[in-house]
């Protein structure tokens, strides 16, 4: 079996970027699912815990988790690789360089938002994944949201994510060559919507922080009604 084509593919600038784009898009999709999960908090403790129980009892979950980790891994490795090359290739010596209008805040800060997200990911795993789950998942999450420090970090993480995706979504489509005069404008708007949706994470945690209702369930029921 000859798999040199894979090596050739991955060592090409565009091939590498394609891996980054595919993993990025899938991770973006995962973030939407994750947001939907978080919205389940408003459904109440029972509903939320039932969903978590379903996930934990599902034999496919560890596989999905492994897949997710692989996506993160692929995205980070290709990202670091590409970025290191970009650093090497950046033009040096301009004295009065001006950006000409293509660059956005999102695109110019990809490296920084990526670093922030990586740091946040570690923090997130430590607070929710590799921790004591004995109080129940709903209580673990909502009590974390009520801590100002946690929510501050969480809000910052969501903002970084939104900024990252504001460039990343359309960029991924472009990298994959998914460009079409009819659909590309929609993709661009879609990318912005997905990026904005990431602010939802922040809003949910802020709700619990500012709502300050210690009795579980009431507030969410009020929202739903």
* Site stretch for other proteins (CB under 8 A), options 25-33, 49-57, 172-180, 199-207: 172-180
| Residue 162: strand, helix, or coil | helix
Query: Does 171 participate in binding other proteins (rule CB under 8 A)?
Result: yes
The minimum distance between CB 199 and other proteins, in angstroms, equals: 23
129 near 72, Cβ under 8 Å? no
* Site stretch for other proteins (CB under 8 A), options 87-95, 138-146, 156-164, 212-220: 87-95
Query: Does 143 participate in binding other proteins (rule CB under 8 A)?
Result: no
Give the other-Cβ count within 10 Å of 104's Cβ: 14
Which residue in 5, 42, 117, 37 sits closest to 72, CA to CA? 117
Residue number with CB closer to other proteins (101 or 148):
101
* Site stretch for other proteins (CB under 8 A), options 88-96, 135-143, 201-209, 212-220: 88-96
Query: Does 17 participate in binding other proteins (rule CB under 8 A)?
Result: yes
Pairwise CA distance, residues 84 & 154, whole Å: 28
| Residue 129: strand, helix, or coil | helix
The minimum distance between CB 159 and other proteins, in angstroms, equals: 20
Query: Does 179 participate in binding other proteins (rule CB under 8 A)?
Result: yes
Residue number with CB closer to other proteins (49 or 104):
104
CA atoms within 13 A on the CB side of 159: 10
In the chain, the largest separation of any two C-alpha atoms, in whole Å, equals: 62
Total number of residues that touch other proteins (CB under 8 A): 46
Between helix 184-197 and helix 199-211 the angle, nearest 10°, is 20
Residues forming the site for other proteins (CB under 8 A) = 5, 8-9, 11-18, 82, 85-86, 88-104, 107-108, 110, 167, 170-171, 173-179, 181, 184
């Amino acid at each position: 079996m000859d798999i040199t084509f894979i090596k050739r593919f991955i060592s090409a600038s565009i091939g590498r970027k394609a891996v980054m784009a595919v993993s990025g898009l899938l991770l973006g999709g995962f973030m939407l699912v994750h947001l939907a999960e978080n919205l389940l908090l408003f459904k109440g403790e029972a509903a939320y815990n039932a969903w978590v129980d379903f996930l934990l009892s599902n034999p496919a979950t560890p596989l999905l988790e492994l897949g997710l980790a692989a996506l993160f891994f692929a995205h980070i490795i290709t990202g670091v690789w590409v970025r290191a090359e970009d650093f090497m290739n950046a033009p040096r010596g301009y004295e009065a360089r001006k950006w000409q209008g293509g660059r956005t805040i999102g695109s110019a800060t990809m490296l920084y938002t990526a670093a922030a997200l990586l740091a946040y990911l570690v923090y997130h795993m430590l607070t929710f994944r590799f921790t004591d789950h004995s109080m129940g998942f709903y209580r673990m999450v909502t009590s974390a949201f009520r801590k100002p420090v946690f929510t501050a970090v969480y809000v910052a993480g969501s903002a970084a994510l939104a900024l990252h995706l504001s460039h990343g979504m359309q960029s991924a489509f472009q990298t994959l060559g998914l460009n079409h005069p009819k659909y590309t404008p929609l993709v661009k708007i879609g990318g912005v919507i997905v990026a904005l949706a990431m602010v939802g994470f922040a809003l949910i945690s802020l709700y619990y922080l500012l709502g300050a209702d210690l009795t579980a369930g009431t507030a969410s029921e009020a929202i739903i009604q």
